[in-house]
Amino acid sequence: MQVNQLIDHTYLKAFGTTKELDQLIIEAKEYQFKSVCVNPYWVAYAHEKLQKSGVLVCTVIGFPLGQNTTETKVFETLNAVSNGADEIDMVINVAALKMGRYDYIKNEIDQVVKAANNKTVKCIIETCYLSKEEIAKVSEIVSTTQAHFIKTSTGFGTGGATVEDVKLMKEHGHGKEVKASGGVRNKTDFEAMVEAGATRIGTSNGVQIMNDSTGSGY
């Protein structure tokens, strides 16, 4: 298992400047992480800095609440791709899910996938706000789309990824990959999520995971 290739090295804080982004990019190159995950404002910058590095550029859409209209999410996606984004992490409309508007959820995912133009799309379902039944249902909805991943969390909600939720998403995602994000801080957390079925980890602690404090890092 190439641990580094499972990590989306993430910086999504509102106050990040070129200082923080440059450090993120340096680390991503050094450890050859799968991607850097940055806010849309930084996509073009990251794309330029990461050319020929092998590290992808991931960005977030409808972030962090998912309450943008479908049309807005589509525009954000088109703009991100035109700026060099390789992967799109879209927050679903959690309210629509809770109201049982399942066709709406499927349609917004379909529209974002279309706008992404064959780029990898991950659907953030924000598990901390969902019941187990809702997690299962939305995972089934994602399974009927051309999105590639179901993702647990934004990292801005009341909780992050849990082993139980990752297992549930994997079970009801019917073949979709799962990204665990939020609260994955060390090697132990990382391994638990991978064992539960996650094939991508979103974390700002990628370097710490690679250089685990026990001395038995990857």
Per-residue pLDDT averaged across 40-47, rounded? 98
Q: What is the pLDDT of residue 199?
A: 98
Q: Is residue 31 part of a domain?
A: no
Q: Is residue 8 part of a domain?
A: no
Per-residue pLDDT averaged across 108-120, rounded? 98
Cα–chain-centroid distance for residue 122? 6
How many structural domains compose the chain?
1
Q: Is 13 a catalytic residue?
A: no
Q: What is the pLDDT of residue 1?
A: 74
Q: Is 179 a catalytic residue?
A: yes
pLDDT at 130 over 60: yes
Q: Is residue 22 part of a domain?
A: no
Q: What is the pLDDT of residue 198?
A: 98
For the question of whether the overall pTM of this predicted structure is more than 0.85, the answer is: yes
Active-site option among 49, 137, 179, 187: 179
| Range of the structural domain that residue 132 is part of | 58-210
Q: What is the pLDDT of residue 218?
A: 54
Q: Is residue 120 part of a domain?
A: yes
Active-site option among 89, 165, 176, 189: 89
Cβ neighbours for 85, distance < 8 A, ≥ 6 positions apart:
43, 47, 57, 58, 59, 119
Q: What is the pLDDT of residue 215?
A: 44
Tens-digit pLDDT profile for residues 161-183:
999 999 999 999 999 999 999 99
Q: Report whether 178 contacts 144 (CB < 8 A).
A: no
Percent of the chain with pLDDT strictly greater than 70: 97
Q: E strands along the chain, which residues?
A: 7-11, 35-38, 56-61, 87-91, 120-124, 149-151, 177-181, 200-203
Active-site option among 73, 151, 176, 187: 151
Q: Is residue 172 part of a domain?
A: yes
Q: Is 176 a catalytic residue?
A: no
Please, which pLDDT band fits residue 216 given cuts at 50, 70 and 90? very low
